A and B are shown apart, each in its own frame.
Chain A
């Protein structure tokens, strides 16, 4: 009997082993390795390496570009997160009401989140093209601006990449909040209506307490993902000549590794990013302890 039981255990462990191996070898080990790498001076392609201790971090501390990228990354993530949440919740409230064609609208609204980033980027570069873009054409035609705006130029590229990222990612918030809204018992609203509560009051007193837990999780996930967002920002900045003005921390880490081939510095940037995320997550959990329990 004991033998049969331990055999059962063996089968169980054997079944989880491949998954565990892949996660340990291909995710956790690389992350641990990048901490080690951040202490080395290493070319990205050649095997030579030299232990330099915390020198990479000291270098970055005095590196103006690092502080700029930290600032740009903060600007980018703050605005994109804020508007994703506002638009996502508002859209979820609309799509939770019943109206003709709701199913189709729900499907269409998720499109931008499902397409490859490269498609979203070329699409927006075409829409925002300064000479032939349809956005400029309309804005001039409607008299909003007198001359076409260089949306991908140095002055507006941050605005453009923020707008485009909100467009691309708010459907995630929408879908998650919508899934939660559907589980709120209608009786709660009936009761509030009987009490004569206005739509705004119903939102504050009925809806908001119900979605607080999931909102806590969504804000956390979106913050992590926006702060580490690479492809959207990198692809938007590429080739436009104004990429320097949206060089966020992930983009800077990538460039250190694959443009300057300084893998040690690239890894140090990744470690800093990771440290910032952990600190912010802990503070976030402390600040919203109550919500953390519900979520």
Chain B
């Protein structure tokens, strides 16, 4: 009997030790990014490095906003990600509604086909995509980017939305129809509110994918004023002698929106995850 507290302690100890390690490996790099972004240039290169900046300054952020194209990139990212989310939501909500509410020949085949395209990695699609986009004449436009992100997210968002729509009982909609509501009204007032968690989860996935994307933007966009954040910041990184304080400030400013969206949707995440996960 007197053995158990010790054993309990050791397994508990292992558990907390493991959890602490997990937090440390995930959080330390971010902590270091934040710390560096507030250091003046001299302190960035100080040896030994200081963990908390001795002389914290907003200078890096100030230069980022005034001396680089950061705000333009930021705005482009917002526009492109926002439009991608909007388009993806409309197209996949309509598609998922169709896949769960209507019967037609080949419905299951369509669903299977959609899942199959989920396996295509960006690198396999982007080369021919680039050449086709040039042929159509929409290279170097945000429109091409929005199309790329939408079609790339669609397999996943459709699949997830289908799972959500399938859980909404048909009877609810039928009741609304009996009460004299049209199909569209029934959709707006009955189905969509119930599918809201699914809609939110998929829109966040689309947003994060569009926000984080590097390869499509790198290939499809050539003018500086149309670049989104990841490509813009990479060019900043390579432009001259690396200004680490500035780069870390930029890194922080890209990360914050992605993390905010992630944290706001975290509770839907595990649910959505079971239905398909995120690409990458």
Contacts and interface: CB of A to CB of B under 8 A. Distances in A.
Given A19-B154, A94-B18, A123-B32, A134 B123 contact: no
Given A19-B154, A27-B120, A105-B23, A45 B127 contact: no
A26 B147 contact: yes
B98 A16 contact: yes
A137 B121 contact: no
Interface size class of A (residues with CB under 8 A): 35 or more
B120 A31 contact: yes
Interface centre among A25, A27, A29, A31 (most CB of B within 10 A): A27
Contacts of A58: none
A126 B248 CA distance: 9
A250 B26 CA distance: 27
Interface residues of B, number: 93
Interface in A199-227: 199, 221, 224-225
Contact of A8 (B102, B110, B128, B219): B102
Interface string B181-202: 0010000000000000000000
A114 B251 CA distance: 13
Contacts of B74: none
A122 B49 contact: no
A228 B19 contact: no
Contacts, number: 253
A108 B266 CA distance: 11
Contacts of A184: none
A204 B136 CA distance: 56
Contact of B269 (A99, A101, A122, A175): A175
Contacts of B172: none
A192 to B, nearest CB: 16
B148 A26 contact: yes
Interface string A101-140: 1100101111111111111001110110000101001000
Question: 4 shortest A-B CB distances, which residue pairs?
Answer: A12-B102, A228-B121, A19-B95, A26-B151
Interface of B: 11-12, 15-16, 18-19, 22-23, 25-27, 29-30, 32-33, 36, 44-45, 47-49, 90-92, 94-95, 97-99, 101-104, 110, 113-114, 117, 119-125, 127-132, 134-135, 147-148, 150-152, 154-155, 158, 183, 208, 211-212, 214-215, 219, 229-231, 233-234, 237-238, 244, 247-248, 251, 254-255, 258-259, 262-263, 266, 269-270, 273-274, 277-280
